[in-house]
Structure 1
Amino acid sequence: MGNEELEAVKKALAAMKKIELTGFTNTETATAYFKEKEMILEGIVKTMETITVQESSEMEALKATVKSLRDELKGRAANPRELTRKELQYRLGKALAAAWTGNHGALAELSFTPNLKADNWTNPRDVSWGEKGWNVNEKAALGSPMGNLSTNDQYLINPIYETEIMQDAAKKSVMMPLVRHRPMMGPSIFLPTRDRGGVQLHWLTAYGQQITGSKPQGAQRVELKAYTLAGYIPWYDEFEEDVFIDLGAMFIDEFTEVYGQEFDRQCLLADDDPFTGAMAVDGAEEVEIAGADINGLTWKDFRDAVYRVPAEERKDCAWFLHETVLNHIANIEDADGRPIWRRPTEAMPGKLDLYPYHEVSIMPQIGAVENDTPFAIFMNPKRIQHGNRKGIEIKKFDGTTESMEYGELFLRFRKRDGFLVTRPSGNMVILKTKP
């Protein structure tokens, strides 16, 4: 009897170890959740009191597990809600200052972890904080370097904070909410991409009839690589506790602004730098406008380009262009001097000749469009694959000419991403001026 109850206790404790980490959207849900967990623990304790097995060491271990879970529940129940904006900024700022000064205890308290390798970044779950400092929880492969945990000065941001920061970055980017995102566990993954017409159907109208027809088009394997993107934020002397909120807010603003723009650049304009965006990719069809130069652009040019894309693909497509190009279309007048696209009393339409559009600030402005210059693209943004390798790393960086000559210091951040435009042929049309 005792052994059966002991096994039941072990199973119950194993299930209890999964306690939510990210908080709750409202207090009622949190209260109900923790109350349920507490009741389960109470039942486990009462069951343990009736067990009469001889293995006292095993019982002591189970009691220690129960105590640990109770303490964890109390800590989580004390603050079950999600962080407010100011709390996030304060904690992030405090961690940034701790990374700068090497305060490992504060970093551990805020769930920042040291990053031990440059290529294969440390998994935060593999590192913990103990009485003697950082501990590697999982044994590394034979021959792996130990790393110097005591002097390590590059840290991975708390994954919960990273999620909040990336949500802010998505608001600064046009393409981030639109493209297809794929998690990457390594520096490279192969993706099967299948275009329309990959599957063929055949009717069989008699028993034993031979299935004839051409070989179906298989999926094309393409490689998505991830590289490391680094940025540098100026650092000004010492930051005290009263400016932790400002420091956290500064990092979020600086990171999200530049990262959002670079995300859009890699999706659209980059030309082997290090990825190739949709405007520079081989295979996309280029359509010249009817007028002699950009000043002759009319809404008919957009209509002619749209119909180069098959209808089944076209339904998911949208235009991507600069706001000055859109403004040019909005100001085209008819023979009586009235705007064709919208009148002064009307709101800006959400579509350009029946298809949605997105204004992208990094696309060519109409005043900078010369001859033989692409300036707009019509495509399904899901054709662009974004590989997301989790982790934002921060590091104190003073090895620059500016620091030696002017005493100017920087906080470096790094993130890993990959971009790939798939199947542009027949699916993307670029609008450009004549040579």
Structure 2
Amino acid sequence: MGKELIAAIKAKLAAMKKVEASGFTDQSKAAEYFREKEFILEEIVKTLEAVSDGQEAETEALKATVKSLRDELKTKAAYPKELTRRELCYNIGRGIAAAWARNHKALADLSFSPNFKADNWTNPRDVSWGEKGWNVNEKAALGSPMGNMATNDQYLINPIYETEIMTDAAKKSVMMGLVRHRPMMGPSIFLPTRDRGGVQLHWLTAYGQQITGSKPQGAQRVELKAYTLAGYIPWYDEFEEDVFIDLGTMFMEEFTEAYAVEFDRQCLLADDDPFTGAMAVDGAEEVEIAGADINGLTWKDFRDAVYRVPAEERKDCAWFLHETVLNHIANIEDADGRPIWRHPTEAMPGKLDLYPYHEVSIMPQIGAVENDTAFAIFMNPKRIQHGNRKGIEIKKFDGTTESMEYGELFLRFRKRDGFLVTRPSGNMVILKTKP
């Protein structure tokens, strides 16, 4: 028993040698990473206490190793090396180039990891690089190869870099910073969603008094599913070391721009494609403007719509519309030719008739709004649930017609997400033109 425990401890300590002190651009992310490593060392110490007698020499040596690692961990946690933007782009570009050339050693150095050809993606924590190539940690015996790695060409980006990429995407998306995010460990999760009035309160004024009243409204269970989103980025150049920065910058820009637009589309406009956004969801109340068409729109239409939502919900709501619709409202003039909403000398207000608004470029432009067309929505964005399954996968694509005819190559990326609009009835109002 003692030899088996010591062998297991040695395997964990070998994995601990991978503690990284670089790659962080945020102190909180670095602290979380080092807390996880400290937890592993605590487990090792507890395991050493269970080792039977007769193993004192090896036990003391392992304890000394643990102490040394703890001291090193404290030093690295106190002074984590932060990456500059240039270094981040360089490392991402170098990782993409290594994936293209199947340079497994370089991928391992950058903490990229191979991914199985399956829906259940590999957890980067389960993979390590050893003398024999890629190994699976804990789930299999140390040194066991993970499939046929000679032909594998799908890789997961370093999770630290993934976080930075998604931070960039959030800056380009309107909805990403507003909706509710939930981590997903599987393809679907069931969420309890409770509307107002779910809890009943009763005063008891005498000992033993019976609690009376109606049965409280229970939480509604809804399923949030995640699907895989794939995209292709084309380029022509060969990847040498002097273009790693440009390659990493290009990937981040191309990915974040495309992903931000698709994120907003799934939150707002998607109609069973594959999710249903707030503008197309069943249950949201539709309110027609007073004028004959979009040209008759006034700020009063917005005021009439907001009062369809209860006050307790309304305080967390905002308008979502295209900037051309907002511009139309801002330029409505009175009989003397003066703007009703704001004067030329005033800064653009941050609220639309007392409620905040968000300009979303994918929403219908005023020139494209026809009869019987929805063009704005008033809601609490937290009603939209976003399921985030960690991992951005990259894969080389060169066996295409474009590659053979024009020499154009493609990099495919994949990410998994889920979107769900919860309890729209009574909580969301859509503004539309008349039929």
TM bin, normalised by shorter chain, reads 0.7 to 0.9
Q: Which residue is 2:401 aligned to?
A: 401
Task: State TM-score, norm by structure 1.
Answer: 0.85
Q: Which one-letter code corresponds to 2:392 in the other structure?
A: I
What is the DSSP-based 3-state SS (H/G/I as helix, E as strand, rest coil) of the residue aligned with 1:111?
A: coil
Q: Which residue of 2 aligns with 1:223?
A: 223
Report the CA distance between 1:24 and its aligned residue. Answer: 7.6
What secondary structure, in the 3-state scheme, does the structure 2 residue paired with 1:358 have? strand
Measure the CA separation in 2 of the matches of 1:372 and 1:310: 25
2:232 aligned partner:
232
* Secondary structure in structure 2 of the residue aligned to 1:254: helix
Aligned twin of 2:303 = 303
**Equivalent residue, structure 2, for 1:183:** 183
Question: Does the 8 Å contact 2:290/2:297 carry over to 1?
Answer: yes
Count of aligned residue pairs for this structure pair: 400
CA distance in 2, matches of 1:72, 1:216: 51
CA distance in 2 between partners of 1:83 and 1:149 (Å): 30
2:3 matched to which residue of 1?
A: none
Residues 1:270 and 2:264 are matched in the alignment:
no
Cα distance per residue 1:11-37 (max 9 Å; x no partner):
xx99xx6968565868xx99xx9xxx9
Q: Cα distance 1:203–1:25, how it changes in 2: closer, same or farther (>3 A)?
A: closer
Following TM superposition, by how much is the alpha carbon of 1:146 offset from its aligned partner in structure 2, in angstroms? 5.3
How far the C-alpha of 1:239 sits from its partner, in A, is 1.2
Q: Report what 2:212 is aligned to.
A: 212
Task: Find the counterpart in structure 1 of residue 320 from structure 2.
Answer: 320
2:353 alignment counterpart: 353
| Counterpart residue identity of residue 56, structure 1 | A
Matched, 1:162 2:162: yes
How far is 1:293 from its partner?
0.3
Q: Which residue is 2:413 aligned to? A: 413
Q: 1-side partners of 2:147 and 2:430: how far apart?
A: 50
Structure 1 position 69, deviation (Å):
6.5
| Alignment partner, residue 253 of structure 1 | 253
Segment drifting more, 414-423 vs 78-87: 78-87
Unaligned runs of 5+ in 2: 1-8, 39-44, 46-53
2 CA distance for matches of 1:409 and 1:177? 33
Q: Deviations over 1:349-382 (max 9, x none)?
A: 0000000000000000000000000000000000
1:320-376 deviation per Cα after TM superposition (whole angstroms, max 9, x unaligned): 000000000011000100001111111110000000000000000000000000000
SS of 1:200's equivalent in the other structure is coil
How far has the Cα of 1:401 moved from its partner? Answer: 3.3
C-alpha deviation, 1:116, in angstroms = 1.2
Q: 1:333–1:340: 8 Å Cα contact kept in structure 2?
A: yes
The equivalent residue for 2:4 is none
Distance 1:87 1:324 in 2: 39
Report the Cα distance in structure 1 between the residues aligned to 2:384 and 2:132, rounded to whole angstroms: 47
Structure 1 residue 65, shift from structure 2 partner: 5.1
Query: Given residue 87 of structure 2, which amino acid in structure 1 is its aligned partner?
Result: E
For the structure 1 residues 169 and 120, does the alpha-carbon distance in structure 2 shift closer, same or farther, using more than 3 Å as the test? same
Compute the displacement of 1:68 (Å).
Answer: 6.3
RMSD: 3.0
Q: How do 1:25-424 residues align onto structure 2 when only pairs under 5 Å count?
A: 55-63=56-64, 76=76, 80-139=80-139, 147-424=147-424
Distance 1:285 1:240, change over 3 A: same
CA distance in 2, matches of 1:215, 1:312: 22
